[in-house]
Chains A and B, each alone.
Chain A
């Protein structure tokens, strides 16, 4: 079982993830957009690039009224990305199994801080999702499945940190593989498509000379 999780299932899940993400992005692109015939006031390209980055900074109205989500959102995303790319076992795994390239891993204290930030952020976001009337109305099964899967991957990852107990490492890897398989067919795709959605809006606004 361990060999299967470490070998074929990993290859399969990575394949589904890569091909699935490409398929989703291509599906969006081939839906096509009509070219804008109105004479532009500003640059679509600059507008798109600006929007991709400027939307990382929340607008004041939202920063005030939606501060819980914003703080929780930042804690979760920054913590998760730090864990994903700079946790020592991940750096080693990526170098060994995917890229062949290695980089500096974060120290143990940074791992603890990142993990706490990610957990607090994710739990707050999920509580907000189920308790706030707006997000409760909007949320569907996919939102909850995504949250729970990410939570379980993070939890088993922390438990397996020492890599001393093989079943824990395999459990973490198995859940990460399930997440990779689920990813292209879910809302988790926003990790890639946000560049497109921000870009499309930014381009339209940019043509009109508006900073979006």
Chain B
């Protein structure tokens, strides 16, 4: 038995709190969670049943927290958790779960299975059973500051383009700004038009904002892989930067899991409340619109539909704002049959699965669910609010040779501004 395995078991043991104990106590093995998981519905493989992915943690719980388990252990009976369990379950825990949270919405006894899988990953990582792609992304995030290796120089280059295109000056490290905006690496590298959109919207709305040169990255590989120390370190960088600049509100980018990381898990990871607020960009845009600071010119007549990023909507609680915003610029916005908190995941899972190269074939297979949703509607313009969802959707659409355009909601709003300061 290796030392790492023992440490992994210990890490797993530390995750078992009252919530998890109540969840395992309540589970009656009804299997209904399978019907909510796209990895099961698109493959019909029972091993992808969400609660089955927790078998290693359940094994430990049963042996150490239940009467029969303790009795069995005392008599030398029953099966203890083994290194083979970690090895066998690694792909189930990482490759076939995007932490989308859909299973948690349907469990008849209310089990938050996603919460348990997130916690189980802590033990798996310590035991050494995590995908290399995610390990590498976490290492880059800690060393360089971004899971994709985006440095401050890369950001500066992207901002230089924005400044050239818009004629605006992007406020860097502005002391006492109201808002400090974060980005995801995916936005900086693949969708710099998001940064331009933010700049144009904030200029039009007269928002006092800045970007920190010390902490501009919002994604958190530590949460995805299940490394609370790394996750805390990444959150702390943002907190320290915001405190130094005297920021009132930190703005989470569209990126779904970045929002979960900084808004909901962040304070718990660093063990203290923030001295500032955290707001998702869509919440801010909706707020600006309601305050009359965001004047939108016209409505598009092109039929549009919305893909809800799981971490923003189902796990984040930003449900109404994207709909209000999209309705304000789209004349024909049609919801998918399953939408809002019950929308289906794109299959990328807030970067977790997309940073895990070996999961790609499965990811493309389960994209069939999104394909069917789009086919049912027959709409070719798909609006979303997460750079990671966007890249996963684009890959899936291309793989299926579908002629659907994917648009960022923030960018769509920016394109409909009445008063565009960049053109003044």
Contact = CB atoms under 8 A, between A and B. Distances in A.
A107 B46 CA distance: 44
Given A138-B52, A143-B28, A197-B26, A37 B106 contact: no
A7 interface: no
Interface majority SS (helix, strand, loop, mixed), chain A: helix
Interface stretch (A59-67, A114-122, A157-165): A59-67
B111 interface: yes
Interface in A97-115: none
Report the contact-size class of chain A (Cβ under 8 Å from the partner): 35 or more
B27 interface: yes
Contact of B22 (A28, A62, A209): A28
Contacts of B104: 201, 212
Interface in B258-295: 263-268, 271-274, 277-278
A133 B25 contact: no
B140 interface: no
Given A55-B109, A58-B106, A29 B18 contact: yes
A210 B341 contact: yes
B29 A143 contact: yes
B385 interface: no
Given A51-B110, A208-B316, 14 more contacts: A27-B65, A31-B20, A38-B266, A52-B110, A59-B36, A66-B31, A189-B26, A196-B25, A197-B19, A197-B110, A198-B110, A208-B315, A210-B341, A212-B104
A34 B278 CA distance: 21
Interface in A174-212: 184-185, 187, 189-190, 193-194, 196-202, 204-205, 208-212
Interface of A: 24, 27-34, 36-39, 41-42, 51-52, 55, 58-62, 65-66, 69-70, 73, 129, 132-140, 142-143, 184-185, 187, 189-190, 193-194, 196-202, 204-205, 208-212
8 contacts: A27-B65, A38-B268, A66-B32, A135-B29, A189-B25, A189-B26, A193-B26, A200-B19
Interface of B: 16-23, 25-32, 34-36, 40-41, 46-47, 49, 51-52, 65-68, 104-112, 115, 263-268, 271-274, 277-278, 314-317, 319, 338, 341-342
Nearest to B36: A61
Nearest to B274: A39
A62 B106 contact: yes
